[in-house]
């Protein structure tokens, strides 16, 4: 069986072909970083237009790399929640059109659950379940109890900025490049993580599994320029100061993520942690999390680097829905929960 998976939730146009044995036949990702860099973040309208231009060439290249034709596809899966509405619609319409043309089944993918499934893909075994799942990306910082690949219960999430969003905004304050995550990691290599003691919201509050990075971001702003709304372009920081600020900010984020992850494990009574999402590619986070998991004898699965950022390979979670007979019809919408609630 060959499953074609599509991913257009934000600013990567991606497609992959995965077999029912989880063999990845091909994967293509078209990044939009160059389009959004001048704005310091993703512009939804630009993202959706870029998806329109790229979705068919990406699908075509994915088929070519797998040495398959479109007629060889047995089912189509598409991420339909969460994400940017315009971006999601491009992938969803493309998937529906293919299913109509090929008379093949349509499968829905929850983008956040797919990030955790990337750990299952890398592990090569269902033994990762049950687990606590941590998703850390540009738009999400969430903890789930994952009883199985189709059984996710939300334990906690961000009440303001997500971790990845905070990285992007702090990078802009420091005059670093977009995307902010890799830029801050690089700058932090020459910095002192103890140079500044930034706040860590809800740290040590084991009964609360929420995240908050807005106060941390504001603390960095005040450290750079003081209270008020200064023009950051008029502030010059020496390289060492930039490095110290980047390292101290990064360390605060890592402290929060680790604290809440192990609090969730304690609450749930589980001993396995799976981590996915773009921020999971951060080297300092990966090192610290591996050290903590080892010392606490927790089984840790962090998605490999190529599966941390948005990709279509993790859409293989749709195979679990295929096995369970959970197919979609052409009425499938983006944000399906919200659509049903509005209908009521």
Give per-residue pLDDT as tens, 28-59: 999 999 999 999 899 999 999 999 999 999 99
Whole-prediction pTM value?
A: 0.93
Whether 81 and 132 share a structural domain: no
pLDDT digits (tens, 9 = 90+) for 152-199: 999 999 999 999 999 999 999 999 999 999 999 999 999 999 999 999
Are 165 and 241 contained in the same domain?
A: yes
pLDDT digits (tens, 9 = 90+) for 95-143: 999 999 999 999 999 999 999 999 999 999 889 999 999 999 989 999 9
> What is the model's pLDDT at position 229?
62
In a domain, 322, yes or no: no
* Confidence band of 230 (pLDDT split at 50, 70, 90): low
Q: For residue 46, give the nearest of 59, 32, 57 by alpha carbon.
A: 32
pLDDT bracket for residue 225 (50, 70, 90): confident
Q: Would you put residue 67 in left (φ > 0), alpha (ψ -120 to 50) or beta?
A: left
Same domain, 85 and 171: no
Q: Are 134 and 211 members of one domain? A: yes
User: Is 228 a residue whose pLDDT tops 70?
Assistant: no
Q: What is the pLDDT of residue 340?
A: 37
Split at pLDDT 50, 70, 90, the class of 339 is very low
How many CA atoms does the CB half-sphere of 39 hold within 13 Å?
Answer: 12
The answer to whether residues 152 and 190 belong to one domain is yes
Mean of pLDDT over the chain: 94
In a domain, 320, yes or no: no
Is residue 226 scored above 90 in pLDDT?
no
Q: Is residue 72 part of a domain?
A: yes
- Domain region containing 168: 127-307
Average pLDDT over residues 297-325: 97
Q: Is 132 found in the same domain as 91?
A: no
Q: Where are the beta strands (DSSP E) in 20-172?
A: 24-31, 75-81, 106-110, 131-136, 141-148, 151-157
- pLDDT tens, residue by residue, 239-258: 999 999 999 999 999 999 99
What's 11's domain CATH number?
3.30.420.40
* 158 in the same domain as 216: yes
pLDDT on residue 148: 96
182 and 286: one domain? Answer: yes
Note if the bond before 130 is cis, omega within 30 degrees.
Answer: yes
Residue 299 lies in a domain: yes
In a shared domain, residues 159 and 303: yes
Query: Is there a domain that residue 242 lies in?
Result: yes
C-alpha 50 chain-centroid distance: 20
Q: How far apart, in whole angstroms, are the C-alpha atoms of residue 14 and residue 244?
A: 36
Q: Judge whether 115 and 302 are in contact, CB under 8 Å.
A: no
Same domain, 152 and 201: yes
Identify whether residues 212 and 179 lie together within a single domain. Answer: yes
pLDDT band at residue 236 using 50, 70 and 90 as cut-offs: confident
Domain assignment present for 120: no
Residue 265 covered by a domain: yes
| CA–CA gap between residue 7 and residue 32 (Å, rounded) | 13
Identify whether 10 is part of a domain: yes
Q: Are residues 92 and 141 in the same domain?
A: no
Cα 307 to Cα 28, 206, 215, 249: the distances in Å are 12, 29, 30, 25
What pLDDT is stored for residue 343 in this prediction?
32
Integer CA distances (angstroms), 18 to 2, 114, 163, 306, in order: 6, 14, 30, 16
* pLDDT of res. 341: 34
CA atoms within 13 A on the CB side of 15: 25
Q: What b/e string do you get for 307-342 counting C-beta neighbours within 10 Å, with b at 16 or more?
A: bbbbbbbbbbbbbbbbeeeeebeeebbbeeeeeeee
189-220: per-residue pLDDT in tens? Answer: 999 999 999 999 999 998 999 999 999 999 99
- pLDDT at residue number 27: 98
The structural domain count of the chain equals 2
């Amino acid at each position: 069986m060959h499953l074609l998976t599509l991913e257009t939730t934000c600013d990567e146009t991606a497609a992959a072909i995965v077999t029912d044995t989880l063999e990845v036949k091909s994967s293509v990702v078209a990044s939009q970083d160059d389009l959004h860099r001048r704005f310091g973040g993703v512009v939804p309208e630009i993202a959706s237009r870029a998806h329109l231009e790229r979705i068919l060439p990406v699908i075509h290249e994915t088929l070519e790399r797998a040495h398959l034709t479109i007629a060889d596809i047995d089912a189509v899966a598409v991420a339909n929640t969460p994400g940017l509405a315009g971006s999601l619609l491009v992938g969803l319409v493309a998937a529906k059109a293919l299913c109509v043309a090929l008379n093949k089944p349509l499968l829905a993918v929850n983008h956040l659950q797919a990030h955790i499934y990337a750990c299952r893909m890398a592990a090569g075994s269902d033994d990762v379940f049950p687990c606590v799942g941590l998703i850390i990306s540009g738009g999400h910082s969430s903890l789930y109890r994952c009883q199985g690949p189709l059984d996710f219960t939300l334990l906690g999430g961000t009440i303001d900025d997500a971790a990845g969003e905070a990285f992007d905004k702090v990078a802009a304050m420091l005059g670093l490049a977009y995307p902010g995550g890799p830029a801050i990691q690089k700058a932090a290599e020459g910095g002192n993580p103890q140079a500044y003691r930034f706040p860590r919201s809800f740290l040590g509050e084991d009964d609360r599994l929420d995240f908050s990075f807005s106060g941390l971001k504001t603390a960095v702003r005040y450290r750079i320029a003081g209270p008020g709304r200064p023009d950051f372009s008029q502030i010059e920081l020496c390289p060492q100061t930039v490095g110290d600020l980047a390292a101290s900010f990064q360390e605060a984020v890592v402290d929060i993520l680790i604290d809440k992850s192990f609090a969730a494990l304690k609450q749930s009574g589980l001993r396995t942690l799976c981590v996915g999402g773009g921020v999971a590619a951060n080297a300092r986070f990966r090192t610290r999390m591996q050290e903590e998991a080892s010392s606490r004898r927790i089984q840790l699965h962090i998605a490999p680097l190529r599966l941390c950022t948005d990709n279509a390979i993790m859409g293989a979670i749709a195979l679990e829905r295929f096995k369970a007979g959970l197919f979609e019809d052409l009425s499938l919408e983006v944000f399906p929960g919200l659509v049903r609630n509005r209908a009521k």
